[in-house]
Amino acid sequence: MPKGEKKKVVVIGVGFGGLQAIKKLSKEEDLEIIAIDKKNHHLFQPLLYQVATAVLSPADIAIPTRSLIGDKKNVTVYLGEVEKVDIQAKKVFFQGHSEDYDYLILAAGAKSGYFGNDHWKKYSIGLKSLKDALSIRTKILTSFEQAELAGDPEVAKKHLNYVIIGGGPTGVELAGSIAELSHEIVRNEFHTIDPALAKITLIEASPRLLAAFAPKLSEFAKMRLEKRGVEVLTGTKVLEIDQNGVKIEGRTIPSSTVIWAAGVQANSIGASLGAPTDRMGRVMVDEFCNVEGHPEVFVIGDIANYSKGLEKPLPGVSPVAMQQGRYVASLIRGDLKSKKRKPFHYLDKGSMATIGRQDAVAQVGNFRLRGFFGWFVWLFIHIFYQVGFKNKISIFITWVWSYITFRAEARLIQDEIESNSVGSSTPN
């Protein structure tokens, strides 16, 4: 490369993968980096459920993107949504602007996917963003208030029915946290109703919860959730979601609070590449995380289907995205020095999910933890990987206070209640 000539790298999405790539590439003076994201913050998604259940505040798990990378001299940050990528012309189009690139890193993530039943979105809430988490928090907290004023026991009962669809880590963590909130934390704060009578139902279509975990850990999670009062329905398919609740074979579960944690769909921007995609919309990539025939285009994280030499694609979890982000950054830096590329290899550092206070499951290979020790490791890992020192301290203090007092202090309903909206016989 001629002296003084800089290569331009455009990174779409500053999530786990995009952030890791930018941090590593920013050390290379011969690169100009353009970061584009439709959100102005980096989000620590594994703790979204704690915002949804009023344990943490949004600022505890989100940091402004510019405060993370804006001070790096060779990084320019744009807030905007990418509408199209012209892979032939090497151009990215967003917010009425366009950027040329020498390298493209697409790390745009995923959204909730409904397996072709998009009409279910109207009656349920996914959990992929801060907006989703705050919507769930408002829905749950308002449901207590609606039940308190309902006057009709059957209407109150419907308000206090919570259905979570999807028995992966997100579904399990939500079910346990909602049970703790309703059965313990707010139990003595209402006098017309007993929040402990709230019914939490967790529905999973496959034969067991936490399918990626060892069967014994799945069974442990199920047992612990049931001990907390959660009804766990495995091997159960959802037939319909409407204004009345969730229909499964043989019955309808009445609920005005339905949370969708069953599936994801890759960000639609991946389709604009013109490359093959799987049924979830993920872009098929080769052993270098490249779109076939385009060594300058990398796709990583939830939006990528990496399955080269594997029995099944790598899961859409943060460790995969982070390792891929660092990997593609090292390839680009290697290209500048004319180094031969080596295929990506994922180092599986294990999986974990918390069930509630003093209860979690974790596994790394054949090494497994459950109960209190699993929970302690879960706490440590999530503090360790949280971005930003202030956030680490804030979360740690909040968790300690919550553990000692058994309280959740982020129980704020942001919207004002309108006349007749609380206590109405027709839940919102």
CB neighbour burial string for 6-42, b if at least 16 within 10 angstroms, e if fewer: ebbbbbbbbbbbbbbbbbbbbebeebbbbbbbbbebb
C-alpha angle 380/223/186, rounded to 5°? Answer: 70
What angle separates helix 215-227 from helix 169-180, to the nearest 10 degrees?
20
Query: CA of 110: how far to CAs of 265, 294, 301, in Å?
Result: 5, 22, 9
Q: Are 242 and 254 in contact (CB under 8 A)?
A: no
Measured in whole angstroms, the distance separating CA 264 from the mean position of its chain's CA atoms is: 10
Q: At what angle do helices 16-25 and 318-336 cross, to 10 degrees?
A: 30
Active site residues: 173
Angle, alpha carbons 207-210-214 (nearest 5°): 90
Q: What is the DSSP letter of 207?
A: S
Question: How far is it, in rounded angstroms, from Cα 57 to Cα 391?
Answer: 11
